[in-house]
Amino acid sequence: GAVVSQHPSWVICKSGTSVKIECRSLDFQATTMFWYRQFPKQSLMLMATSNEGSKATYEQGVEKDKFLINHASLTLSTLTVTSAHPEDSSFYICSAPGQGDYGYTFGSGTRLTVV
């Protein structure tokens, strides 16, 4: 089945630094990738939709200059949290649409802690 590999699984960084999260589709081409943020014990919040070769579409309230999304190829989408602050600490998950009845394929998530 379709697999999305997300790295890193967890990262701790200092305030003011930038962190890049990668999602790769391993056995299929993902023209679209969704990026979510999840707070503890809460549901997923869609941050942005990335499409290969074009600019990402950000949800209302999400700072595009802070959360840089790049979808340069059909197998790689990246989210860069720039000038990270403690309030950016969260669980970030990527997801690619599936085919037919197979739903969406999710990465394993990245736990970001900003200290």
Chain contacts with other proteins (rule: CB under 8 A): 6, 32, 34, 41-44, 46, 49, 59, 91, 93, 95, 97-98, 101-109, 111
> To the nearest whole angstrom, how small is the minimum distance from the Cβ of residue 22 to other proteins?
14
> To the nearest whole angstrom, how small is the minimum distance from the Cβ of residue 62 to other proteins?
12
> To the nearest whole angstrom, how small is the minimum distance from the Cβ of residue 84 to other proteins?
20
> To the nearest whole angstrom, how small is the minimum distance from the Cβ of residue 3 to other proteins?
11
Q: Which is nearer to other proteins, 17 or 104 (CB)?
A: 104
Distances (CA, A) of 22 to 52, 69, 100: 14, 10, 25
Q: Which is nearer to other proteins, 83 or 108 (CB)?
A: 108
Pairing of strands 90-96, 32-38: antiparallel
Other CB atoms closer than 10 Å to residue 71's CB: what's the count? 22
CA–chain centroid gap for 22, Å, is 7
Q: Which residues of 15-59 form beta strands (DSSP E)?
A: 19-25, 32-38, 44-51, 57-58
Q: Which is nearer to other proteins, 75 or 110 (CB)?
A: 110
CB 77 within 8 A of CB 69: yes
